[in-house]
Homo-oligomer: A and B are copies of this chain.
Amino acid sequence: MPKILFYPDNRVVEVEKGESLIRAAMLAGVHINASCGGSSTCGKCRVIIENGKVNARPSAKLSADEVSQGYVLACTTTVDEDIEVRIPIESQMGDSRVALERELETVTHGGFLSAKSLVDLIGEFNINPATQRLYVELPPPNLEDNVSDLERLRRELNRQHGISNFQVDISVLRGMGALLREADWKITATILSLGGSECDRLIRIDKGDRTDKHYGLAVDIGTTSIYVELVDLSSGETLAKASEYNAQVSCGEDIISRIVYSLKENGLAKLQELVTETINKLIDRVIEKSGVELDDIVHMVAAGNTTMTHIFLGVPPKYIREEPYIPTATFMPTVMASDVGLKLPQGTRVYTVPSRASYVGGDITAGLLGSGVYRSEKLTLYIDVGTNGEMVLGNSDWLLSCSCSAGPAFEGGSIKNGMRATKGAIEQVRINPKTLEPMILTIGQARPRGICGSGLIDTVAELFLTGVINEKGRFNTEIDHPRIREVDGQAEYVLVWAADSATKRDIVITEADLDNLIRTKGAIYAGITTLLDSMQMQVEAIEEVLIAGGFGRYLQIDQAMTIGLLPEIDPGKVKYVGNGSLLGSRLILLSKEAKDVATEIAQKMTYLELSTHAGFMDSYVSALFLPHTDRDTFPTVMKRMKVY
């Protein structure tokens, strides 16, 4: 990993090859002015490369003279080797000394579960998928040996592979006679072990030897996005990935609005159609990327929250929304791909990971499996924050889960300039404590269009740390700064001026936005403390925090603690698991044992219904401050505040 030394701060940061200089600076806590989110339109992020080579894109914002002096735009420059970079005074727009004294996220914020640790995780289970592809050569029939085709196959599967007891899909029989003969009696049989009390099934036969072509799909059905991974079931390797917005988004952004939509005439059918439409599209894409033949996909494992799982299977989610919040089922039957409209080969089954309750779904079960919480010795807090916040506390002995309606703030809802984490969303923000000027980075380094969840947390944390807002989320109206203003009787901070935004309007954060965000973070924090209280435990007892969900990608742990979204925990204990739901689905796809573990997890997990929990409301009310009513529980945040 290339090392970058920033002057004049003398800060070093290690980044992945190909990382942009501006993101590296953000990571290092080095302030570079950047108004356009990294879209190379404002030309303010000029830096000088003093040593080493970079990949810099030419820019009209730089003169030939400047280029010869080593100037580049930090936002369009990527790093492949060790370099030394100087931030000229004009790009600092103020004193960066303060940054030196701030705790540095890059050093301390833990990290993603590495690719290696994923392999280790899978290593827990042997590769032993529910499907088997077996090559069989049958002696052709004659008048003496005239048993039926199926009996012949059964006999030879038993002789050659020791498999005798299985049921057969009628669809297999419909093609069997012709196929066996066209294949000259040399075929590959695909057997699916459903496990439990269900008996094995012959789900497909194919001509010739296709045993080395054995593929499956792991699918994460998110409310917003769907992820599909094409997995080689022999090697465990992922051959292709693809993701796409869940086409249901057009029917409402959050779970509740989907449930409401499902109540319309044909609403459920429409939603079901949309989700399978998206998955079908993604299947096409992984097929194209990998060059695998569709016919060699023999199984699919999907995980989603309880509502998404219901809708995907065509089961009405109606009662999930109505007190007492009852799902039709947490353990769904394995279905035929064709039963849900997926264009997978005949006989392909789809297994959905079991849920625990209406608001603790299969995505959480899969995440607990995939991240190894279920077998951890350490007391672990697993958090997945989206529209709902799901939290699980536990270890290999017990698991206690809860869910709170976090509200859509983190997904861009109910925030004036909020947006989902898509291109142009401000995802990282630093505010220079002296100048109160922001440094912003957008997704895709495009011109900023709005603020997504992690950008929102950053903004609020920075406004709080720099004293622009107080612990109640109210603006300090005594500050005289062009970015702090009042519009229609409501105070706001201008993050991006109209000239730099894609929308040609100011991008602001208002006091109403702050109220919403504080309620959201309060609910999550209260959920966490309620889990701890239920076990009569303190925050200190938590040995590991796992953060799942796309949300976590650029979430800065210390910022999350600053606003009191998370309790103060040694950031070294925090890990990002990324898409835990997908990870768990892949494990289940690869291992029958992992599937059994998922069943166990969903069965053994205790569910705490917060809406009836006596302590939850108290905790919630106490958490409606930045970082919290009880400041003593956030000593580090308090220390950091004093620095400013």
Contacts and interface: CB of A to CB of B under 8 A. Distances in A.
Given A146-B357, A173-B313, A314-B174, A168 B325 contact: no
Nearest to A355: B148
Contacts of A330: 148, 150-151
Contacts of A327: 148-149
Interface in A143-175: 143-144, 146-151, 165, 167-170, 173-174
A168 to B, nearest CB: 5
A70 interface: no
A332 interface: yes
Interface stretch (A210-218, A316-324, A514-522): A316-324
Contacts of A316: 174, 177-178
Contact of A143 (B149, B198, B611): B611
A324 B146 contact: yes
A250 interface: no
A612 interface: yes
Nearest to A306: B148
A323 B143 contact: yes
A401 to B, nearest CB: 13
B314 A170 contact: yes
Contact of A177 (B199, B318, B607): B318
A146 B168 CA distance: 37
Nearest to A197: B199
Contacts of A146: 324-326, 357-358, 607, 609
Given A165-B197, A198-B199, A324 B177 contact: no
Nearest to A150: B329
A339 B326 CA distance: 32
Given A168-B333, A199-B199, A318-B178, A149 B328 contact: yes
A328 B170 contact: no
Given A149-B327, A329-B168, A331-B150, A173 B315 contact: yes
B141 A328 contact: no
A239 interface: no
Nearest to A340: B170
A292 interface: no
A181 interface: yes
Contact of A148 (B168, B329, B339): B329
B333 A173 contact: yes
Interface in A176-200: 176-178, 181, 196-199
A311 to B, nearest CB: 11
Interface string A288-322: 00000000000000000000000001111011000
30 contacts: A143-B323, A143-B325, A143-B612, A146-B324, A146-B325, A146-B609, A147-B326, A148-B327, A148-B329, A149-B326, A149-B328, A150-B329, A150-B330, A151-B330, A165-B197, A168-B329, A170-B314, A170-B332, A170-B335, A173-B313, A173-B328, A173-B329, A173-B333, A174-B313, A176-B328, A177-B315, A177-B318, A181-B319, A198-B198, A198-B199
> Closest 5 A-B residue pairs measured CB to CB?
A150-B329, A197-B199, A143-B324, A143-B612, A177-B328
Interface of A: 141-144, 146-151, 165, 167-170, 173-174, 176-178, 181, 196-199, 313-316, 318-319, 323-333, 335, 339, 357-358, 607, 609, 611-612
